[in-house]
Amino acid sequence: MAETIPHFGAILSFIGSSTVSILGFILPVVCYIMIKVQSTQLVDERFFDTVLRVLPKWDIALLILSLAVGLFGALASSYSSFSDLVNPQSYVKPCWLDPSSADPIPENKTLLWGY
């Protein structure tokens, strides 16, 4: 499988960079806000009015900072890994299709048991 999909690490990097930032920074903030608001929201009160009423100002500032860091990290890492993924030099024939594309054995290295 690893020989069939060249540079499979670039695909894993793209998937990881987009999901880890969301799961580590953005989703906990959203869940925290939703839990706090759902438990104290009045019947006819708007969502943002409830957030401003329930959460202290410093708490809102820290949550916005965490969201900003998470979004910046998600965008920067996703852009970096996506540009690495679409780079034309990252696509080569697998070594089982083109044996000349495989890395050659260095001259100063010997094979197994010196042969």
Report the C-alpha gap between 102 and 13 in whole angstroms.
23
pLDDT one-digit tens code per residue, 17-51 = 888 888 888 899 999 998 988 888 777 888 888 88
Model's pTM, two decimal places? Answer: 0.66
Q: How confident is the model at residue 8 (pLDDT cuts 50, 70, 90)?
A: confident
15-16-21 Cα angle (round to 5): 115
Residue 104 DSSP symbol: P
36, 35, 31, 34: which is closest to 54 by C-alpha? 36
The yes-or-no verdict on residue 111 having pLDDT over 60 is: no
Q: What is the mean pLDDT of the chain?
A: 79
